[in-house]
Each structure stands twice: as C-alpha cells, then as structure tokens.
Amino acid sequence: MNDERPERSEITEQLRRERELSEKALNHSTDVIFAFDHDLRITVWNAPAERLTGVNKPHAWGRGVATIPRFFALTGGEASYRRVLAGESLRLPEARFFIEVLGVEAVLEVFLTPLRDASGSVEAGLGIIHDITRYKRVEEALQEHEAKLQESNTRLSRTLEELRTAQEQVAQTEKMVALGTMALGVAHELSNPLMGVMGFVGYARRNPGSPSAGEALGKADQELGRMRDLIKSMLGFARPTEGEITDVPLPVLLQHTLSLIGADLKVRRVEVETDLEEGLPPVRANRSQLEQVLLNLLLNARDALDGEPEKRILVRAWSEDAAVVIEVNDTGPGVPETIRERIFEPFFTTKPLGEGTGLGLSVSRTLVTETGGELSLVSAPGEGARFRIRLRKRDKAVSDSYRAEDETAVAKHTRGRSL
Ligand SMILES: Nc1ncnc2c1ncn2[C@@H]1O[C@H](COP(=O)(O)OP(=O)(O)OP(=O)(O)O)[C@@H](O)[C@H]1O
Ligand SMILES: [Mg+2]
C-alpha cells in the first residue's frame, strides 16, 4: 500500500513541472497577463507585461503596482484595483499607451477581474491587456477612406450642379440669340397689322358715329389681337425654362413654334409644309425646351436655304411603337459627309463669324436626350438635310404598367384567399 503512494519528492517534482508549464503558457500569450494581491503587490507577471513596461519578472514580483506609475494609471489606478478586489469585473475604456522599449504607441484594452478561492472569497485580482492597435489602424484607415469618398462625392455633386447651371445658361443664351435672328421678320410681321390699325382708326376718326366706323374699330381690335399674340409668343419663348416634363400635344406646340418663326420665313420666301399623322399621342417632354429644339432645327433649315432656288421646309410627325418621331427636312444643300460627325459638337459652325455660335444642335441634342429621346441627322449625303427627333410617347407604357400592377394585386389577392 505504502509503495503505491507517490513519494514526497515526486509530488514536488510534479508541482514544479505544472508550474513551469503554466508559466510557459502565460508567456506565450500575446496578451499582457498579471495578477495582484490585496496589498496591490504583483504576483503574476508574464513576458508581454515585461515588454509593455520594461520591468522584468524578478523586478516585478512582490512589487507594488503603484510603483510602476504609467502602468498603474493605464490599468485604472487604485480605485479600479479596489473595486476588483471587492469582487467587481471591469472593462476599462480603450487607451493609447507609449511602449518605451519598442518606441511605438499602442491602443490597448484592459480587463480586470477578481480571482476567488474555493470558498468564493476574492484572493487576488487578474488583469489582462489586449493590444488592438492593428485593428484600430484598419478601422482608422477605413474611416479616412470613407471620409475621402464622401468628400469626392460632395465635390462631384457640386460639379454636376455647376454643370447643370452652365448648361441652363447656354440654353438660355442660345434662345436669346435665336430670337435675335428673327427680329427682322418679327418687326415686319408687326408692322403689317400696325398699318392696318392705323388705317382703321383713321377711318373711324374721319367718320365718327357712322356704322362703318364701328366696323373699322372692330377690325382694328382684331389686328391688335394678332400683334398681342405674337408679342406674347416671343416673351413666352424668352422666359427661362422650368425643368418640368409633361405630356405635350405636338400639333399645338408646332403651331406655336411656327408662329414664332413664321414671319421671318415669310420675309425670306421660305415655304413651310407640315404633315402630322392624325391622332398623334402626346409626347413626354419639357414643353419650352422642345419648342427650342424645333426652333433650332427650323432656323438651321432657314439658314441652309439662303440663296437656294427652291426654299421649302417639310415638318413631318408620326407615331411608332413607343415613340413619336418628328422630322425636319429642307431643300437646302444638306450636310457634307466630311462634317456629318461634327455638327453636334458644341461650337462647331460653318457660318461666318458673328452669325452662328455652333451651339444650336449641341444644346438641342442635350435637351432631347435628357428626356430619354434622340436627335440625329438621317439624310443621305447629297440630299437636303433631314433631322429626326425621336421622343418617348406618353400614354400606353404608363397606363399599361398601372394595369399590370392592378392585375398582380388582384392575382395576389385571389391566391391569398384560396390558401
Ligand atoms: N439644315 C441644315 N443644312 C445644312 N447644314 C446644316 C443644317 N443644320 C445644321 N447644319 C450644319 O451644322 C452646323 C452646326 O449647327 P448648329 O445649329 O449647331 O450651329 P449654327 O447653326 O452654326 O450656330 P447657332 O449656334 O447659331 O445655331 C451648322 O453650322 C451647319 O454647318
Ligand atoms: Mg443653328
């Protein structure tokens, strides 16, 4: 029996080995691990603790923690140690700590917890310090990256906003220039009814009280109405456009545009013919911008017809699957093959200095594509120019999708009931 009992020396040996093992484990940890007794004296101190403080084990054991001031402060000071020894576990807020031995600053997380004996009373306190520097650095880099992204986003949207404003200004300038080129025609168009008014009023004055005088004044009134409408059109066109997209009835719009430029074309003996398909559906567009586009095409046609023996412009419009197509065709010399690709570029013009800015087509194309449409030159070389505008149709797509939604709702409902 006695033989089976381990020798005292064997037990001591085993204990020594176990102690050695736990010592190794402690030192292999990447975390700082230390322990302290009720007198706040260090009882456990591992290798990372040595590296962090520069205090090695023989110097640490039995030493008061408070005598390593920076470490003591890092781990919460007297108050924290007392709380832990009273049975509380603490997690201190992360802290930056300069490690003198390594010459680097680390970001550390400190945990303090009581160690209890078999009876449950606190016999010591345990501290664990975890290095989160690397994690922190990644986090900071990420935040920095995010901030930069945010900044370039803001810059981008500001640039876009500026671009939009500039674009609006260009469109507005283009309009004023277009109006300027029509001034002669407008003056002419106003002078005709003006002569009429003067004649009728003069007649009424010479024949006061007669029935024909009343008739003359009525006619004068009509002429004045014509003049008022023309002026109203010009003013309406000159007004800056609002960005609203609505359903625009094409015939009305075209008529309005032609009334703007009609006078000018008449003076130049240009014939305008329109051929609009019956029952044309409204198009999705900004009314005033579409008017500007049509006007630009008509003004280009007008200019192209200068000096031509046959001066005709044909405006056609018809409806296709999802689009309404408008074509402006003239009997001018057409666009030479060599510049075909360039005419939509901003500031490209073949007109003499002071006569063209070269912005008409470029602005027009921007305005059309913004509403989901297209503007292109479709004539073959050698024939008069033919420009095509393709615009999204209003109606079916929208109303169909509503109907489809209604049907799904109904289907869902039915299915819900059958379950
Ligand atoms: N109907 C056309 N027939 C022949 N060439 C045309 C026609 N329309 C445009 N072009 C050519 O395309 C060029 C560019 O037209 P765009 O409308 O962009 O500028 P512009 O008419 O020269 O100047 P503006 O800014 O005053 O309109 C014209 O200079 C002309 O050479
Ligand atoms: Mg032009």
Q: pLDDT, tens digit, for every residue of 143-163?
A: 999 999 999 999 999 999 998
Amino acid 379: pLDDT: 95
Q: By mean pLDDT, which of 90-94, 210-214, 289-293, 392-396 is the weakest? A: 392-396
Domain CATH for 127: 3.30.450.20
Side-chain-side CA neighbours of residue 395 (13 Å) = 10
Amino acid 395: pLDDT: 55
Quick one: 379 and 308 in the same domain?
Answer: yes
Q: Judge whether residue 369 has pLDDT over 70.
A: yes
Instruction: Let me know if residue 94 belongs to a domain.
Output: yes
CA 302–ligand 2 middle distance (angstroms): 10
Amino acid 403: pLDDT: 39
Q: Judge whether residue 406 has pLDDT over 50.
A: no
CA 184–ligand 2 middle distance (angstroms): 17
More reliable by pLDDT, 355 or 216: 216
Quick one: 101 and 169 in the same domain?
Answer: no
Quick one: 168 and 118 in the same domain?
Answer: no
How many Å separate Cα 13 from the centre of its chain? Answer: 75
Per-residue DSSP letter, 409: H
CA 218–ligand 2 middle distance (angstroms): 41
Q: What is the average per-residue pLDDT within 167-196?
A: 79
Per-residue DSSP letter, 64: B
Distance CA 230, CA 252 (A): 15
What backbone phi and psi angles, to 5 degrees, belong to 21? -65, -50
Q: Judge whether residue 37 has pLDDT over 70.
A: yes
Amino acid 405: pLDDT: 38
Residue closest by Cα to atom 26 of ligand 1: 356
More reliable by pLDDT, 308 or 346: 308
Structure tokens at 129: 């310090």
Q: Judge whether residue 227 has pLDDT over 70.
A: yes
Instruction: Let me know if residue 84 belongs to a domain.
Output: yes
What is the edge-to-edge ordering of all strands in the sheet holding 386-392? Answer: 271-276, 312-319, 323-330, 386-392, 374-377
Confidence band for 386, pLDDT divided at 50, 70 and 90? very high
| CA nearest neighbour of 241 among 388, 391, 371, 387 | 371
3-state secondary structure of 93: coil
Quick one: 72 and 119 in the same domain?
Answer: yes
Residue closest by Cα to atom 20 of ligand 1: 358
Instruction: Let me know if residue 137 belongs to a domain.
Output: no
Quick one: 382 and 305 in the same domain?
Answer: yes
Per-residue DSSP letter, 6: P
Nearest-atom index, ligand 1, CA of 181: 26
Nearest-atom index, ligand 1, CA of 177: 26
Ligand nearest, relative to CA of residue 356: 1
Which residue among 174, 297, 300 is best mutated to probe the pocket of ligand 1, counting the most ligand atoms within 8 A of its Cβ? 300
Residue closest by Cα to atom 17 of ligand 1: 360
Instruction: Let me know if residue 417 belongs to a domain.
Output: no
Instruction: Let me know if residue 310 belongs to a domain.
Output: yes
Amino acid 410: pLDDT: 34
CA 270–ligand 1 middle distance (angstroms): 17
Mean pLDDT score across all residues of the chain: 87
CA 187–ligand 2 middle distance (angstroms): 21
Quick one: 124 and 264 in the same domain?
Answer: no
Confidence band for 237, pLDDT divided at 50, 70 and 90? confident
What is the tally of structural domains in the chain?
2
Quick one: 171 and 33 in the same domain?
Answer: no
Q: Judge whether residue 415 has pLDDT over 70.
A: no
Q: Please, is 128 exposed, middle or buried when counting C-beta atoms within 10 Å of its C-beta (0-12, 13-18, 19+)?
A: middle
Task: Indicate if ligand 1 lies below 6 Å from the C-beta of 356.
Answer: yes
The residue range of the domain holding 101 is 8-131
Task: Indicate if ligand 1 lies below 6 Å from the C-beta of 305.
Answer: no
Amino acid 416: pLDDT: 30
| CA nearest neighbour of 384 among 305, 295, 309 | 305
Q: Judge whether residue 411 has pLDDT over 70.
A: no
Confidence band for 45, pLDDT divided at 50, 70 and 90? very high
End-to-end CA separation in angstroms for the chain: 79
In terms of residues, how long is the chain?
A: 419
What backbone phi and psi angles, to 5 degrees, belong to 220? -60, -40
Confidence band for 328, pLDDT divided at 50, 70 and 90? very high
Instruction: Let me know if residue 138 belongs to a domain.
Output: no
Nearest-atom index, ligand 1, CA of 178: 26
Nearest-atom index, ligand 1, CA of 346: 18
Quick one: 383 and 247 in the same domain?
Answer: yes
CA 299–ligand 2 middle distance (angstroms): 6
CA 360–ligand 2 middle distance (angstroms): 4
Instruction: Let me know if residue 142 belongs to a domain.
Output: no
Distance CA 45, CA 291 (A): 85
Give the list of residues 6+ apart from residue 230 with CB closer than 8 angstroms, or none. Answer: 186, 189, 190, 259, 263
Exposure letters 68-87 (e unless 16+ CB within 10 A, then b): beebbebbbeeebbebbbee
Amino acid 125: pLDDT: 97
The type of residue at 196 is: G
Confidence band for 401, pLDDT divided at 50, 70 and 90? very low
Quick one: 103 and 167 in the same domain?
Answer: no
Task: Indicate if ligand 1 lies below 6 Å from the C-beta of 173.
Answer: no
Which residue among 173, 310, 349, 375 is best mutated to probe the pocket of ligand 1, counting the most ligand atoms within 8 A of its Cβ? 349
C-beta neighbour count of 104 within 10 angstroms: 10
Domain CATH for 381: 3.30.565.10
Q: Judge whether residue 97 has pLDDT over 60.
A: yes
| CA nearest neighbour of 194 among 206, 182, 186 | 186
3-state secondary structure of 217: helix
Task: Indicate if ligand 1 lies below 6 Å from the C-beta of 349.
Answer: yes
Q: Judge whether residue 209 has pLDDT over 70.
A: yes
Nearest-atom index, ligand 1, CA of 355: 26
Instruction: Let me know if residue 2 belongs to a domain.
Output: no
Distance CA 297, CA 178 (A): 11
Quick one: 309 and 370 in the same domain?
Answer: yes
Confidence band for 324, pLDDT divided at 50, 70 and 90? very high
Amino acid 4: pLDDT: 64
| CA nearest neighbour of 86 among 112, 55, 110, 62 | 112
Q: Judge whether residue 28 has pLDDT over 80.
A: yes
Quick one: 166 and 124 in the same domain?
Answer: no
Distance CA 127, CA 114 (A): 9
Supply the DSSP string of 220-288, one letter for each residue: HHHHHHHHHHHHHHHHHHHSPPP---EEE-HHHHHHHHHHHHHHHHHHTT-EEEEEE-TTPPPEEE-HH
Quick one: 176 and 106 in the same domain?
Answer: no
CA 360–ligand 1 middle distance (angstroms): 7
Distance CA 358, CA 364 (A): 11
Confidence band for 338, pLDDT divided at 50, 70 and 90? very high
Task: Indicate if ligand 1 lies below 6 Å from the C-beta of 357.
Answer: yes
Amino acid 413: pLDDT: 33
pLDDT digits (tens, 9 = 90+) for 244-263: 888 999 998 998 888 888 88
CA 359–ligand 2 middle distance (angstroms): 7
